[in-house]
A = this chain, B = another copy of it.
Amino acid sequence: MPQAGIETRVAGLPLDGRAAAPESHFDRQLARLLKHAAHIFCEKGYEGASMRDLSRASGMSLAGLYHYFESKEELLYLIQKHAFQTIMDQARERLAGSADPEERVRIFIENHLEYFLANKEAMSVLTHEDETLRNGRRGEIRAIKREYYRICFDLLEDLRRARGLEFSGRLAVLSLFGMINWIYTWHNPRVDAGAKQLAEQMGDIFLGGLMNQGNHKRNKRVKA
């Protein structure tokens, strides 16, 4: 009997380019398959991609793939979970280095864009296939998403309190996520700036907007 149960082995941290090198043959192979799968899902979409595509791209037989995971859906789940977990851990780590509310928001933005552009395929799959998983696996990913959202929300609330601003936290978070997630539809490394510069410019737009509440004309200011 093969391994790869419901938990697909406690999953040492595979893939990710610069992550801690996976130790066993199993982990190394799984990481390789996940990378190919992320590429294919990114290109053709989850539903449009086939296990035969993955077989062809990875050079492993169709049946052999199932030694490493139990279904196509678990494949998507593993890609999304790893990407989300990693970007969040990295955000927490970097945020620990600053106490200034504005700077912390900028750190969050920069971390998001940096990880996104360095892991474009996995992050595109995470972003685009947001409604694809079902039941338990969907729930697990949504829980991580809420956690990540919460981190950002709290950062903005801190800023709001520190500067005595008035804005809807929910709308601010979702506007910000819109700006920074949308890059997967347009970013071209040959013409667009890198993560650091994009983070600064988007940070300027977003934070400038939030903090510039003594606006211009119009604005029958709606209260909260």
Contact = CB atoms under 8 A, between A and B. Distances in A.
Question: Chain B CB within 10 Å — which of A47, A102, A179, A222 has the most?
Answer: A179
A211 interface: yes
Interface stretch (A51-59, A62-70, A194-202): A194-202
A46 to B, nearest CB: 8
Contact of A178 (B167, B168, B183, B213): B183
Contacts of A208: 208-213, 215
Contact of A182 (B177, B186, B212, B215): B177
A21 interface: no
Contact of A222 (B167, B170, B200): B200
Contact of A216 (B168, B170, B179, B211): B211
A11 interface: no
A115 B204 CA distance: 28
A29 interface: no
Interface string A127-143: 01011100000000000
A191 to B, nearest CB: 8
A207 to B, nearest CB: 7
Nearest to A47: B47
Contacts of A206: 205, 209
A146 B19 CA distance: 39
B210 A205 contact: yes
Contacts of A170: 192
Contact of A204 (B45, B178, B181, B219): B219
Contact of A102 (B132, B185, B204, B216): B216
A46 B183 CA distance: 22
B222 A185 contact: no
Interface of A: 45-48, 102-103, 106, 128, 130-132, 167-168, 170-172, 174-175, 177-183, 185-186, 192-193, 197-198, 200-202, 204-213, 215-216, 218-219, 222
7 closest A-B pairs by beta carbon, nearest first, are A178-B182, A205-B209, A47-B47, A209-B209, A208-B209, A208-B212, A212-B212
